[in-house]
């Protein structure tokens, strides 16, 4: 094993060419960076798709070895109030870049967590200090960003990485870390990481601590998943009006595999699509899955909500 560094940092791309799966975005951003007069930018998309990494690469490209003095990164989920914008961001933005002919870069990660008041203050700051700095906002849910900020930014939408890109990353890591990974494991990793490279790297590093031969058995301890037949059986029992048996099977599956309510909902939704039942029943179940998923995100008790789903299917 090479060193003890966290793999998400160890294998973070260091140049525009190293970023996988976002070729069009990288091409456009690199062209802007070459002018040394980039606009404010809004990076939106799923987690682990390269948003923060691209912001770091832009700063390194513009400021070379002096990039740390001209780059400020704040995670808006931790510092989400108006004082952050008025104090930290403003103090950094009002001075010119050090030993550079390009503007400073301020990265606001998870900007969709900023309060509305903070976003209003940010809008004014973006206008006032546009000569000395540029803002890069990163978010997962762009609808939570107010329109005045969106209109001031060039918007780039990042997509989850496709299977070919994930396979390249797995192969690269496997070669450097001297890991053996079979084709079935690569497929399983892709299906469970959902195009999130950060999650992929964490799973691989965890598995490599146990064995340098990664297979389905090794992965099963770290993947929040379960055999398809288990969830299919849960739904089938409910459809046959065997509510108690279905409920017990679901609870056993969750406890034995360490699944959360959201994991279960996603798995049920996948299984229902492939089941041999009437299309109308599929539509009704999937619609209810969406409602239950919303309730879980809002903080409802997951066991009560999942029992509610099974009762709906049974009825």
In this predicted structure, what is the pLDDT of residue 2? 47
Residue 268 has pLDDT above 70, yes or no: yes
Cβ contacts of 37 within 8 Å, gap of 6 or more: 102, 103
Q: Mean pLDDT over residues 105-117, rounded?
A: 89
Residue 84 has pLDDT above 80, yes or no: no
Residue 9 has pLDDT above 50, yes or no: yes
Q: Mean pLDDT over residues 96-120, rounded?
A: 86
With beta carbons less than 8 A apart as the criterion, state whether 210 and 218 touch: yes
Helix (H, G, I), strand (E, B) or coil at 251: helix
Q: How many residues does the chain have?
A: 315
171-196 b/e with 16+ CB inside 10 Å = b? eebbeebebebeeebbebbbebbebb
User: Tokens representing 106?
Assistant: 């301020």
Q: Name the CATH superfamily, with its identifier, for domain 22-158.
A: P-loop containing nucleotide triphosphate hydrolases (3.40.50.300)
With beta carbons less than 8 A apart as the criterion, state whether 46 and 194 touch: yes
Residue 138 to residues 55, 75, 110, 194, 280, Cα–Cα distance (Å): 9, 9, 5, 19, 39
Residue 39 has pLDDT above 90, yes or no: yes
Residue 229 has pLDDT above 70, yes or no: no
pLDDT in tens, 10-36: 888 889 998 988 999 999 999 999 998
Which backbone phi and psi does 19 adopt, to 5 degrees? Answer: -75, 130
228-314 placed in CATH 1.20.1250.20: no
The model's confidence at residue 4, banded by pLDDT at 50, 70 and 90, is low
Q: Mean pLDDT over residues 268-294, rounded?
A: 88
User: Tokens representing 148?
Assistant: 């005045």
In this predicted structure, what is the pLDDT of residue 1? 43
Residue 77 has pLDDT above 70, yes or no: no
C-alpha 97 chain-centroid distance: 31
Q: Mean pLDDT over residues 249-263, rounded?
A: 82
In this predicted structure, what is the pLDDT of residue 224? 57
In DSSP terms, 156 is beta-bridged to: 43
Global pTM? 0.77
Residue 228 has pLDDT above 80, yes or no: no
Residue 265 has pLDDT above 80, yes or no: yes
Most confident stretch, 92-96, 157-161, 216-220: 157-161
Range from 137-151, 162-176, 251-265 carrying the lowest mean pLDDT: 251-265
| Fold assignment, 163-220 | Helicase, Ruva Protein; domain 3 (1.10.8)
Cβ contacts of 315 within 8 Å, gap of 6 or more: none
Alpha helices in the chain (DSSP H): 7-10, 23-34, 51-63, 82-84, 90-93, 116-128, 147-150, 163-177, 183-193, 197-208, 216-220, 228-239, 243-257, 261-274, 279-297, 302-314
* Domain boundaries, given as residue ranges, for the chain: 22-158, 163-220, 228-314
Residue 227 has pLDDT above 60, yes or no: no
Phi-psi region of 197 (alpha: psi -120 to 50; beta: other; left: phi over 0): alpha
**Strand 71-75, strand 41-45: pairing:** unpaired
In this predicted structure, what is the pLDDT of residue 291? 92
Residue 135 has pLDDT above 90, yes or no: yes
In this predicted structure, what is the pLDDT of residue 157? 94
In this predicted structure, what is the pLDDT of residue 122? 87
Label residue 3 exposed, middle or buried (CB < 10 Å: 0-12, 13-18, 19+). exposed
Place of tokens 């990288």: 26
With beta carbons less than 8 A apart as the criterion, state whether 176 and 208 touch: no
pLDDT in tens, 40-70: 999 999 888 999 999 999 999 999 888 999 9
In DSSP terms, 74 is beta-bridged to: 108
């Amino acid at each position: 094993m090479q060193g003890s560094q966290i793999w998400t940092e160890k294998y973070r791309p260091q140049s525009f060419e190293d970023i996988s799966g976002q070729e069009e975005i990288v091409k456009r951003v690199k062209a802007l960076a070459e002018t040394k007069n980039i606009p404010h930018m809004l990076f939106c998309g799923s987690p682990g798709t390269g948003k923060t990494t691209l912001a770091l690469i832009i700063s390194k490209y513009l400021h070379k070895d002096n990039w740390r003095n001209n780059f400020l990164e704040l995670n808006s989920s931790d510092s989400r109030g108006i004082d952050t914008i008025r104090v930290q961001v403003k103090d950094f933005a009002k001075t010119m870049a050090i030993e550079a002919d390009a503007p400073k870069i301020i990265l606001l990660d998870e900007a969709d967590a900023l309060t509305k008041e903070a976003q209003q203050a940010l809008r004014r700051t973006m206008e006032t200090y546009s000569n000395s700095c540029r803002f890069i906002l990163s978010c997962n849910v762009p609808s939570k960003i107010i329109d005045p900020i969106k209109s001031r930014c060039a918007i780039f939408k990042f997509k989850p990485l496709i299977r070919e890109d994930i396979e390249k990353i797995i192969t690269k890591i496997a070669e450097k870390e001297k890991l053996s990974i079979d084709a079935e494991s690569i497929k399983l990793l892709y299906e469970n990481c959902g195009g999130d490279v950060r999650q992929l790297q964490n799973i691989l590093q965890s598995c490599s601590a146990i064995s340098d031969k990664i297979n389905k058995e090794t992965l099963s301890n770290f993947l929040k998943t379960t055999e398809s037949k288990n969830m299919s059986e849960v739904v089938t029992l409910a459809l046959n009006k065997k509510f108690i048996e279905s409920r017990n099977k679901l609870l056993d599956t969750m406890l034995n595999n360490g699944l959360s309510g959201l994991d279960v909902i996603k798995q049920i939704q996948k299984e229902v699509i492939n089941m041999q039942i009437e299309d109308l029943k599929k539509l009704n179940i999937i619609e209810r899955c969406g409602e239950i998923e919303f309730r879980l995100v809002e903080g409802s008790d997951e066991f009560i909500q999942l029992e509610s789903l099974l009762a709906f299917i049974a009825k």
